[in-house]
Structure 1
Amino acid sequence: MKKISIIVLFFSLNNTFSQNLLDILESETPNQKEYVTATFKGTRILNGHSIENRKKGTLEFLISHRFGSIDLGIDELFGLDQSNIRFAFEYAMTDDIMLGLGRSSFNKTYDGFIKYKLIKQSKGKNSFPLGISFFGSTIYKTLKDYDPENKPSFNQKLSYTTQALIASKINRILSLQITPTYIHNNSVRINNDPHDIFALGFGSRIKLSNRVTLNSEYFYTVNPLKSLDTRNSIAIGVDIETGGHVFQLILSNSITMIEKDFITETTNNFFDGGIHFGFNISRAFQTGGKRN
């Protein structure tokens, strides 16, 4: 009986010591946080920005092209005789801050933007299920579509876009993004047009293979323009990653590639043949030496 009591006491002390040791080791082990990467393949879902930034020191040259709508028929080669193009240079100052400058043939527009990664999605201890970025752009329209006696001022040609990019990589197959959007136009076509427009964007990515994804995008405009019979912007497409660039093939009812334009001025009906075929192609160059 005495031996049994000694054995019980020994195991009790041993378990207590082991548990205390595990508690000490756990308390001394730092919380390990692993950040989620590659929520989307590129910096664009399709027309709009994704939450992704390039790595610090990366200079990206981006060409975006949209043809006319396919319902124009054979005389216009189903839209291929018409085109709208945007080219841009985008530079990652840090892993979290990216700047861009572009020019579009639509309305002969220049645009500049900043995208800042506020919060990164993480997993493990103290994980956070979302990534959040801020996007802001300024647009300057140079198209001379006005009477000479009513030439607008420099300030009247400006418009601004502000977005929150809120995304989550649900798993290795599926990523989702929601994009609350505010657009301000310094001037409008008619008095009934709103200067301030609100919209909500939705985007998704489905991984088909290591190099190919299926993407979709939709923007709902809360208070659209009155001077145009506008439609909500819709796009579907695929991302193809090939070496140093991402190639996107796109079908969209929007012919423009700047947020202010495709969110507020899309007029084609996607489900009635008003679809523009297009593509985005980018090439990234690393500047400032190799990263460690």
Structure 2
Amino acid sequence: MNKQLFSVLFIILLITSTVYGQMERKRVQTDGPVQDVFWAPTLITQASTEHLPAGNLNSTIMHSFGVATQRPLQTFFGIDNVRNVRLGIDYGITDRWSMGIGRSSLTNIVDLRTKLAILQQNQSDTQPISISVKGDFGIVTQENDRPIKDDVSTSISAIFSRKFNDHLSLQLTPMYGHMSSVSAGDPNSFFAVGLGAHMPLSRRFALSAEYYPVIGERAANTKNTFSLGLNIETGGHVFQLFFTSTEWHLEQYVLATNREQFWAGDFRFGFNVNRVFSLVK
């Protein structure tokens, strides 16, 4: 009887030790990067600190229409007027570094971009923020009489973000944009501090907002861009429906060429579709 009791106690002790060891290993593993700070690599038009896992491909369709308040009945609130479409793909080279290419229909701009995670917010909060850097190089491929050096644009930004809880993530993005060709009297370089917010309402729906206050010199008649969107997560896709004052999907053009004022009613409807494919087993 004592031997049987000893055997039972030994087995219980062994199982308990094994389970406890597994729990301990899981506890160590939880101190990884905070998940779902944002739901897509792009907030609306601003890049976010969300990164593609290595070996994953993100295909995007970014679409903007005409100003909704200009002849709304004749243009069905601007939807009849397709202003700009960007088709692009981004590939995760590592879990922290991605590269992409895209083409915008407005002036046929082809752009190359890359994004690198410098720091990532972790679950223990010993690293309280995420920091990424992003660069973009664009070139106008539409036929014109300009030399190719006048068709180039660039942007670089540092993205700082923090997920405060399951209902709020914020980001701050100092950015620089340069246009090789501008109208007479306009500056070639632009600075801004982009502001962004992501606010999940449920597992499927989230609100997002972004603002581009240009600092210092700006092109004549340009306004700061504001966008407000609804994100819909379907498992395989992230749909982003939004109202915005810009027709552009490239940050340097948002800084340099936005002519509409959101709060004056000069907003347009747009949407982004993000679909991630895993190219590794």
TM-score normalised by structure 2 residue count = 0.85
Identify if the C-alpha distance between structure 1 residues 229 and 143 changes in structure 2 by more than 3 Å, giving closer, same or farther.
farther
Q: Which amino acid aligns with 1:79?
A: G
1:278 & 1:31 partners in 2: Cα distance? 40
Deviation string, structure 1 residues 130-156 (Cα, Å, up to 9, x no partner): 100010000101234x5xxxx322222
Kindly tell me the number of residue pairs found equivalent between the two proteins.
252
Taking the TM superposition and a 5 Å limit, the aligned residue runs for 1:52-201 are 52-73=50-71, 74-83=73-82, 84-124=84-124, 127-144=126-143, 151-190=145-184, 192-201=185-194
1:166 & 1:112 partners in 2: Cα distance? 22
1:282 & 1:131 partners in 2: Cα distance? 22
What SS does the aligned partner of 1:122 have? coil
* Residue among 256, 264, 273 paired with 1:272: 264
Deviation string, structure 1 residues 180-213 (Cα, Å, up to 9, x no partner): 00112222221x2212211110000111001111
1:75 & 1:86 partners in 2: Cα distance? 25
Identity score, percent: 32
Aligned to 1:230: 222
2:101 & 2:227 partners in 1: Cα distance? 23
Question: Quick check: 1:245 aligned with 2:244?
Answer: no
TM-score normalised by structure 1 residue count = 0.82
1:31 & 1:50 partners in 2: Cα distance? 25
- CA deviation after TM superposition for structure 1 residue 263, in Å: 2.2
2:49 & 2:261 partners in 1: Cα distance? 28
For the Cα contact (< 8 Å) 1:114–1:137, is it kept in 2? yes
Unpaired runs of 5+ residues, structure 1, are 1-29
Q: Which amino acid aligns with 1:81?
A: D
Taking the TM superposition and a 5 Å limit, the aligned residue runs for 1:15-54 are 33-54=31-52
- CA deviation after TM superposition for structure 1 residue 34, in Å: 3.3
2:263 & 2:136 partners in 1: Cα distance? 30
2:30 & 2:274 partners in 1: Cα distance? 35
Aligned to 1:25: none
Unpaired runs of 5+ residues, structure 2, are 1-27
- CA deviation after TM superposition for structure 1 residue 86, in Å: 0.7
Taking the TM superposition and a 5 Å limit, the aligned residue runs for 1:254-273 are 254-273=246-265
Deviation string, structure 1 residues 241-283 (Cα, Å, up to 9, x no partner): 0021100000000111111112221111112221110100011
For the Cα contact (< 8 Å) 1:140–1:159, is it kept in 2? yes
